Amino acid sequence: MADFDVLAATWPAAETVALGPWTLRRGMGGGNRVSAATLDGSPVGAPGGSLGRLSEVEAAMRGWGQRPLVLLRPGEAELDDALAARGYVARDGSVLLAAAAADLAGPPVETAIDCDGPLRCMAEIWAAGGVGPARLDVMARAAGPKTWLLGRLGDRPAACAFVAVHGGVAMLHALEVEPAARRRGVGALLTRAAARWARDRGAPRLALAVTEANAVARALYAGLGMAEVARYHYREAPTG
């Protein structure tokens, strides 16, 4: 589960609460990763039954204004089946990818810039891609070494990304390329810049998460030599 720990630490929830064997996350509009509960204690079939507290988990999450959502990681098939039997719907299958930062890093280029915070032009690019203020707040919460990357096409801002380090692993988040700049190498440029930044700060691996449905992004990362580490998905409570 180490890569999931990195994912959680570099893209942190607004609040994390332990409820028996469950870990609940309050997302405040920051997306699935910061809004999903995980079963981190006793297994489903343990005496007393971890799912016996599911109603408490649901009530707490609804109290935050969130529809109950559970993250399913490798080895959690029993929990997945149990939630499915209760009407929870599978959604957003995703893949964790990783590569050695030294292998992926490119040379410094003037068109990839490290920033101490999100510039206005970056916020505009992210907003156009659906990454709004709540996700910028997630970036601000991340502890440890982190950077905001700006990619340019010529002299024009064209892409941006966020990178943070936890436990010796750098995680790339929210890579967004303007539509007019896509398929022109800007995404690869920023991915290599993220790897270079990670390597220079003593993080030997660069990792990221991408949805299974995002074939274009997955092809980009595969072409750069990033390999699959794990798959995961979510289950969302039925309405009502």
H/E element, 181: none
Q: Does the pLDDT value for residue 2 go beyond 90?
A: no
Give the residue-averaged pLDDT of 141-169. 95
Q: How far apart are CA 29 and CA 67, in angstroms?
A: 12
Amino acid at 170: A
Amino acid at 6: V
The pLDDT score that the predictor gives to residue 99 is: 97
- Please give the structure tokens belonging to residue 211: 């949805």
The pLDDT score that the predictor gives to residue 224 is: 96
Count structural domains, the chain: 2
Q: Do 108 and 208 belong together in one domain?
A: yes
The pLDDT score that the predictor gives to residue 51 is: 83
- Tell which wins on pLDDT, 206 or 108: 206
Assigned domain for 235 exists: no
Question: Of 96, 116, 144, which residue sits at a domain end?
Answer: 96
The pLDDT score that the predictor gives to residue 52 is: 80
The DSSP output letter for 45 is: T
Q: For the chain, percent helix, then strand, then coil, each to nearest 5?
A: 35, 30, 30
Q: Do 12 and 70 belong together in one domain?
A: yes
**How many of the other CB atoms lie within 10 Å of CB of 155?**
6
Specify the pairing of strand 89-100 against strand 112-115.
unpaired
Burial code (b: 16+ CB inside 10 Å, e: under 16) for 71-99 equals bbbeebeebbebbeeeebeeebebbbbbb
- CA torsion sign for 136, 214, 211, 55 is positive
Q: Do 72 and 176 belong together in one domain?
A: no
pTM comes to: 0.94
Give the residue-averaged pLDDT of 195-221. 96
Domain limits at 139?
Answer: 98-230
Distance of alpha carbon 48 from the chain centroid = 32
Question: Of 62, 96, 130, which residue sits at a domain end?
Answer: 96
Give the tens place of pLDDT for each residue, 97-154: 999 999 999 888 889 999 999 999 999 999 999 999 999 999 999 998 999 999 999 8
Instruction: From 112, 109, 240, 127, select the one nearest 172 (Cα to Cα).
Output: 112
Q: How far apart are CA 128 and CA 176, in angstroms?
A: 9
- Please give the structure tokens belonging to residue 101: 């930062």
Give the tens place of pLDDT for each residue, 6-18: 999 999 999 999 9
Q: Residue 49 — pLDDT band, cuts 50, 70, 90?
A: low
Amino acid at 209: A
